[in-house]
Structure 1
Amino acid sequence: MPRGDKSAYTAKQRRQAEHIEESYESQGVPTKEAERRAWATENKMSGGGRKSGSGRGKTTSTRSQPKKSSTRTAASRSKKSTSGKTRGRK
């Protein structure tokens, strides 16, 4: 399978990538760049082509959620640290 071959992707993945590509193009991104970004986005969302390799991987519903933004994690960390302040050494 040559690099860039899309035969390992399901029809749903191809359809989603097409919609993502159209969205990027409507934002003014050049066609080739929009296609590249669309497939990168689809790979990130679904974990790559589902029809190749050993097994099909986890379903979308059981796959872990995307990472929280750093500002959210920092905010939750600061809330925790204020409640239980530790004393310094004597």
Structure 2
Amino acid sequence: MSRGDKSAYTDKQKRQAEHIEESEREQGRSKDDAERIAWATVNKQDGGGKKSGSGRKSS
């Protein structure tokens, strides 16, 4: 059950999500939970899909 449009993500982010999802499945999570966790992790690491600018916040 894919949520949202994943076209804004880079190929690297998609590969990362796939790898995380496989890892979660190996730990016994359902497909939906594994996918949700994988994309949440990618979003947390990279701030979501491709965006303009460097993606870094100024402090």
The structure with higher relative contact order (CA 8 Å, sep 6+) is 2
Residue 56 of structure 1 deviates from its aligned partner by 3.9
**Runs ≥4 residues deviating over 3 A:** none
| Uncovered stretches (5+) of structure 1, i.e. residues with no partner | 65-90
Which protein shows a greater Rg? 1
Give the whole-Å Cα distance in 1 for the aligned partners of 2:19 and 2:38: 8
Q: State, as a whole percentage, how many aligned pairs show the same letter.
A: 62
Give the whole-Å Cα distance in 2 for the aligned partners of 1:56 and 1:47: 12
Alpha-carbon RMSD across the aligned residues, in angstroms, is 1.8
Aligned residues: 55
| Uncovered stretches (5+) of structure 2, i.e. residues with no partner | none
TM-score (norm 2): 0.82
